[in-house]
Amino acid sequence: MSDINFEGQRRYSVLGLSGSASKNSYNTHLLKAVGKMLPSNVDFKIFEGLKELPFYTPEIDNDQERPALAQAFRDAIRNADAVIIATPEYNYSVTALIKNAIDWASRPYGAHSLVRKPILPLSASMSILGGVRGQLHLRDILHSTESNVVARPEVFVASAHTKFNEDHELVDQDTINMLKLAIDSLVAHAGLQA
Ligand SMILES: Cc1cc2nc3c(=O)[nH]c(=O)nc-3n(C[C@H](O)[C@H](O)[C@H](O)COP(=O)(O)O)c2cc1C
């Protein structure tokens, strides 16, 4: 959550979630690029370990049996001032990985860490549609969790394999410009001003 440093500047934390478990994921590369573009008063980290979360099962979601990782994930979202999710589209929807993570975060009903959480959804795909169908599903899911989703701009990174260099850095200027607008929108939306 926000803090004030010794120079009197307000600092914020933003959590990144990638919907891909691939080592060479364009969505993870995209998240890292966005993380570097955030204002200097924002600390950014990607939550690692989503693929180690078991499938959400109500019977183990109690203080005795809940996996420590699931609790750590909920706490990380609760402690973040905003969340950025970048996900691929799998079979016209979000990946099971990010859906399962959201399912974990979405309980207990009505009092969970995603309620009113400012969220910027992004998608990257090697297809020419940029994962638009998956991202629209993600936006629907985040409606169910009562999250505070950035409406515009909607960033769909199409033909993702053409937009990063060999060091996995984002080099496509149009995408960079669009992300700058999205970050401005997130900063205003979540009140991340210094
Ligand atoms: C099971 C599976 C289903 C996929 N379905 C879609 C799809 O419906 N639409 C799409 O644009 N890409 C689809 N793809 C391609 C991926 O979204 C694309 O390769 C993307 O780059 C993967 O993201 P990542 O690099 O972050 O892992 C699919 C890939 C897999 C493995």
CATH number of residue 135's parent domain? 3.40.50.360
Q: How confident is the model at residue 5 (pLDDT cuts 50, 70, 90)?
A: confident
Judge whether residue 6 has pLDDT over 70: no
Domain that holds residue 147: 3-190
**pLDDT the model gives residue 174:** 98
CA dist., res. 14 & res. 129, Å (int): 27
Angle at 36 between CA 10 and CA 6, to 5 degrees: 25
How high is the mean pLDDT of the chain?
96
Angle at 84 between CA 56 and CA 176, to 5 degrees: 145
**pLDDT the model gives residue 92:** 98
Ligand 1 pocket: which residues have CB below 6 Å?
A: 20, 22, 25-27, 88-92, 124-127, 129, 131, 160
Residue 52 phi, psi dihedral angles, 5° rounding: -90, -10
Residue pLDDT, tens place only, 77-98: 999 999 999 999 999 999 999 9
Output the CA 110–ligand 1 centroid distance in Å.
32
What b-and-e string marks burial along 130-156, b requiring 16 or more CB atoms within 10 Å of the CB? bbbbbbbbbbebbeebebebbeeebbb
Residue 119 phi, psi dihedral angles, 5° rounding: -135, 135
Q: Report percent pLDDT > 70 for the chain.
A: 99
* Domain count across the chain: 1
Q: Which two tokens stand for residue 185?
A: 């929108």
Pairing of strands 3-4, 10-18: antiparallel
**Ligand 1, from 50, 85, 87, 126: best to mutate by most atoms within 8 Å of Cβ?**
126
Tracing tokens 């989703």 back to the chain, one arrives at 149
**pLDDT the model gives residue 141:** 98
Judge whether residue 30 has pLDDT over 90: yes
Output the CA 123–ligand 1 centroid distance in Å.
10
Tracing tokens 């990638």 back to the chain, one arrives at 18
**pTM for the full predicted model:** 0.97
